[in-house]
Structure 1
Amino acid sequence: MTKSFEEFEVHKKGVVLTKQVFRILNQSSIEKEFGFKDQMKRAVISITNNIAEGSEYNNNKQFVRFLKIAKGSCAEVRNMLILARELEFCTQAEIQESLQLSVEISQNISNFIKYLDSKTENKKLEGLKR
C-alpha cells in the first residue's frame, strides 16, 4: 500500500464518528453509566485503530482481516447507540447522525474489502500465468 492510513476516507469518517460518539457520551445521562460508556468508547476507537494497524502490514490479506474487525466494531457502536436510545440515555435526534455515519462507514469498509480482495485475486491470477 502506498497510502498511509490517515489518507483513507474511511479512516477520516471514523475520526468524525469518534468525535460524535464522545460528544454524545459527555452530553447525556450515559455519563453515569461507566461500563456502558467505557465499552462504547472502546468500540468506536477500535474502528480507526484497526484501520490504522491493518494498513501498516503492507499485505492485503492482513489488512482485510483488520478491516473486518473494524467493521464489527462499527456494528457494535451502532448497536450501542440503539441501546442508549432504548434505555433512554439519549434521544433518536441526538444519535441519528452517528447512526447514519456508522452505516456509511460499514459500507465503505465492505467496499474497501472487496477492492483489496480483487487485488489479491488479480495477483494470484498473474502468478498462474507465469
Structure 2
Amino acid sequence: MSSYRDLDIYKIGLELFYIVHPASLKLPKYEMYELGSQLRRSSDSLVTNIVEGYGRKAYKAEFIRFLTFSWSSCLETVNHLEKINHLYKNIIPNNEELIVRYNELSSKIFNFIKYVEQNWKT
C-alpha cells in the first residue's frame, strides 16, 4: 500500500461521507446546526483520522490511535443516523441502508486495527 487512498476503509468512508453530507442538509433548519452538524463532523472525522493516522504510520502506536479515533467516529455516525431515523423517518433517503453500511465499515476498521496491532512493522 503506497497511500491511504489504497485502504478500503478510506474509500468506503469517503464514499459514505459524500452521501451523508448532502443528505444531512435535508434536516429541518433547527437541526441543521445541531444533529446535522454532528453527523457531518463525525462522518468527516472518520475519514480524516484515517488520513492523519496513515501519515503517522511510521509510529505504530500513533497509527493505531488515529484508527481508533476513526472507529469511534464511525460509531458516532451510526448513532446520529439512528437518531435521525427515529426522529425524522423519511428525510434522509436510504437512512437504514446507510446505518447498515456504516456498521459494516465499523467492523472493517476494527479488523484493520487488529491487523495493524498484530502485523505492522515500524
TM-score normalized with structure 2 length: 0.87
- How far apart, CA to CA, are the structure 1 residues paired with 2:70 and 2:28? 24
Instruction: Select between 73-82 and 16-25 the one with higher mean Cα deviation.
Output: 16-25
Q: Which amino acid aligns with 2:95?
A: I
Percentage identity across aligned positions?
A: 28
**Alignment partner, residue 78 of structure 2:** 78
**Matching residue's letter, 1:60:** K
Work out the CA distance in 2 between the residues paired with 1:35 and 1:70: 21
- Residue 88 of structure 2 corresponds to 88
Shift of 1:7: 1.1
Separation (CA, whole Å) in 1 of partners of 2:29 and 2:90: 11
Aligned equivalents of 1:30, 1:16: Cα separation in 2 = 24
- For structure 2, the 5+ residue unaligned runs are none
- The aligned length equals 120
In structure 2, C-alpha distance between the alignment counterparts of 1:31 and 1:63, rounded to whole Å: 38
Change (3 A) 1:92 1:18: closer
Higher helix share: 1
Which range is displaced more, 111-120 or 87-96?
87-96
Q: Pick which of 91-100 and 108-117 moved more.
A: 91-100
**How many Å apart are 1:39 and its aligned residue?**
1.1
Q: Which moved more, 1:85-94 or 1:36-45?
A: 85-94
Matched, 1:4 2:27: no
Q: Give the aligned residue type for 1:98.
A: L
Aligned to 2:27: 29
| 2:62 partner amino acid | Q
TM-score by length of 1: 0.82
Q: CA RMSD in A?
A: 2.1
**Matched position secondary structure for 1:29:** coil
Q: CA deviation at 1:16?
A: 0.9
Deviation at 1:105, TM superposition (A): 1.0
